[in-house]
């Protein structure tokens, strides 16, 4: 056991976060996402499960330890709803509320069309799969630096 680490944080995810450097990204994906086939292309070749957590809880757990990147156009991306790219769903809002509370000054968020999200996720450092059941509950989180 370690002091100050949330008990819901699995050791594999803690190891992953420690290995990541500035600019590396995590795909935080919902329960329906093809996590295993996507993770096969990543540095961490197996998905990291966050069983029992929804997307907002998972984002809170991750961003409680991982700083977000203010030096590029986005520190986080959300998967767009098919044919409705500007729609911000309840799951999007819940996760963006967590992210916006932790964003450093100058950081921003963005979105990706679903197929573009799949392609982008294959280049992430890791895929973290939570138990989010709401559709389009997928995000990319970009690691920043500790000041």
Q: What is the pLDDT of residue 80?
A: 98
Q: 3-class SS at 142? A: strand
* Encoded tokens for 96: 């963006």
Residue tagged active-site, from 33, 60, 69, 117: 69
The model's confidence at residue 2, banded by pLDDT at 50, 70 and 90, is confident
CA distance 95 to 21: 23
pLDDT at 45 over 90: yes
The CA distance from 39 to 89, in Å, is 25
User: pLDDT-based confidence at 69, cuts 50/70/90?
Assistant: very high
Q: State yes or no: is 118 an active-site residue.
A: yes
Give percent above pLDDT 70 in the chain. 99
- The pLDDT of residue 141 is 98
Identify the DSSP state of 143.
Answer: B
The pLDDT value recorded for residue 11 is 96
Checking if the pLDDT of 20 tops 80, the result is yes
CA-closest candidate to residue 99, choices 145, 48, 58: 58
Q: Tell me whether residue 117 is one of the annotated catalytic residues.
A: no
pLDDT computed for residue 147 by the predictor: 78
In the predicted model, what is the mean pLDDT of residues 140-146? Answer: 96
Check if 120 is active-site: no
pLDDT value at 1 more than 80: no
Mean per-residue pLDDT of the chain? 97
- Percent residues over pLDDT 90 in the chain: 97
* Rounded Cα distance, 93 and 113, in Å: 17
pLDDT for 84 beyond 80 = yes
């Amino acid at each position: 056991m370690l002091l100050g680490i949330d008990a819901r944080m699995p050791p594999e995810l803690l190891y992953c976060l420690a290995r990541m450097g500035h600019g590396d990204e995590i795909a935080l994906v919902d329960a329906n996402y093809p996590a295993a086939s996507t993770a096969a292309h990543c540095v961490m070749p197996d998905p990291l499960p966050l069983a029992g957590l929804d997307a907002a809880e998972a984002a809170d757990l991750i961003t409680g330890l991982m700083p977000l990147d203010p030096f590029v156009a986005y520190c986080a991306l959300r998967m767009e709803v098919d044919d409705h790219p500007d729609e911000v769903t309840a799951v999007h809002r819940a996760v963006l509320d967590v992210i916006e509370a932790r964003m450093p000054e100058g950081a921003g968020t963005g979105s990706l069309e679903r197929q573009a999200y799949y392609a982008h996720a294959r280049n992430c450092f890791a895929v973290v799969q939570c138990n989010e059941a709401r559709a389009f509950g997928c995000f990319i989180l970009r690691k920043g630096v500790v000041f």
